[in-house]
Amino acid sequence: MRNLRLFILIISFTGFVFAQNPGSRSLLHTHTGRTFDEGRFEIHSNLNFFTKLGDFIGNASLKPSDFTAANYWDVSGSLMLTYGILDNLDLTVAPRIYQDTHYPNEYNLPDDIFVTLKAGSFAFGNRRFYGAGMVNIRFGTGEAHNYPFAEYASGALEFGLMGALSYYTDPYLPDRSFSTHLNLGWYNHNDASKVVYKRKNVEQKSGVNATELQYGLGFLYPIGEFDFMLEVNGISYIQQPDTMVYSREDYTYVTPSLRYKPLGWISMDLGVDIRISSDKDETKGVYVFTKSLDLPNYSAWKVNLGLNITVLPLTQSSLSPAEVERQQFNKRVDFFQSIIEERARVEDVQEELDKLQKEREEAEKELEELKQILEEEG
């Protein structure tokens, strides 16, 4: 078992697959309101891609003899590392390892680095609701930015804030019950006066500072070893980027997906992003990459293939898997014990109220008897 886990970790780090998950305890694109426990460490990896065959458009009899069809690919991904700093605070660092840019450095290897600091697992409503807040930062470490068919990247230090709210139908076993997750956030591309378009010695600076509203809604329904998920996510620009920016339009995607959990420490994802927003192209005055293929700035679909690995807590690396499992069991026992104690306190309060009510009734009865005695003596 240990050799199997080591083998999978090596595959993940060498970049055969890439990450797409947004952070701790998350769906493919949607954050939950919960964070990792202190010391928990996970690796998420994923490959997402889109492809289209560019064949001759028009009457086949008019096709030139030297015409060659082209198969167009768009592939991207990152490696995501998440660590629980405290029970209510975790950190995710995600270097994007690969991104098709269609610039001279086609693969843009490496690309930008994403960092998310998340405070969450704040329970309320009898533990059915969990809330979280996140600070998201994107470091423009890649060589190329403002590339087509992907979210807008300015190359500047981008940042944003996001909130997450989760609802679980079962407060005692949240990971085994139906859940709903809502995300809402603000994001700043910080691109004013930044060179966002460069081609053949032509440079253009952005004249605006693009900001956007980010949103997401996810549903998760677990059945045995499978999690069935459905998500809606997208952006709506508050300040639209400059006209030379690719992907300067709003977008919305629906993502049905499946997560398979054969073991407690590993799971695999399969999902498809389906664009439901308009394919209108509002970019102006720049080179059009795939005009002959008639492609919009956002792909119509994109496949996600993922791998998620739970590594033993770093603070307990000397423990055996059985000992770690025992500690996790003890945590669950402590959780149920706290619920029982809370219920016991409520029952104690109710007992006191019942006792006071009984004493009051007895006092009223004694007063009534004393009143009758006084009336008889009078």
Asked whether 69 and 56 are in contact (CB, 8 A), the reply is yes
pLDDT tens digit string along 4-38?
Answer: 444 444 444 433 333 344 667 899 999 999 999 88
For residue 90, pLDDT over 60 is answered with yes
For residue 328, pLDDT over 70 is answered with no
Whether 215 and 347 map to the same domain: the answer is no
Provide CB contacts within 8 A for 378, sequence distance 6+: none
Of all residues in the chain, the percent with pLDDT exceeding 70 is 77
Mean pLDDT of the 275-296 span: 78
What pLDDT is recorded for position 314?
47
Confidence label for 66 from pLDDT (cuts 50, 70 and 90): low
Last residue of a domain, one of 318, 340, 357: 318
What pLDDT is recorded for position 10?
42
Closest CA to 311 of 326, 295, 324: 324
Whether 272 and 160 map to the same domain: the answer is yes
Whether 175 and 282 map to the same domain: the answer is yes
What pLDDT is recorded for position 31?
95
Task: Show the beta-strand stretches assigned E in 189-300.
Answer: 195-199, 202-205, 211-223, 226-239, 251-263, 266-275
Whether 227 and 347 map to the same domain: the answer is no
Whether 36 and 127 map to the same domain: the answer is yes
For residue 76, pLDDT over 70 is answered with yes
Whether 275 and 376 map to the same domain: the answer is no
pLDDT tens digit string along 91-146?
Answer: 999 998 888 887 777 778 888 999 999 999 999 998 899 999 999 999 999 888 89
Whether 63 and 179 map to the same domain: the answer is yes
Last residue of a domain, one of 274, 294, 318: 318
Whether 168 and 302 map to the same domain: the answer is yes
What is the number of domains present in the chain? 2
Let me know if 126 is exposed, middle or buried by CB neighbors in 10 A (0-12, 13-18, 19+).
exposed
pLDDT tens digit string along 329-351?
Answer: 666 666 666 667 666 676 677 77
Whether 301 and 348 map to the same domain: the answer is no
For residue 243, pLDDT over 80 is answered with yes
pLDDT tens digit string along 159-170?
Answer: 999 999 999 998
Mean pLDDT of the 71-80 span: 82
The CATH code of the domain that includes 203 is 2.40.160.40
Structural domain boundaries enclosing 346: 322-378
User: Per this entry, what is the length of the chain?
Assistant: 378
Enter the pTM of the model: 0.77
Whether 69 and 190 map to the same domain: the answer is yes
CA 41 to chain centroid, in Å, comes to 16
Whether 191 and 238 map to the same domain: the answer is yes
Whether 186 and 234 map to the same domain: the answer is yes
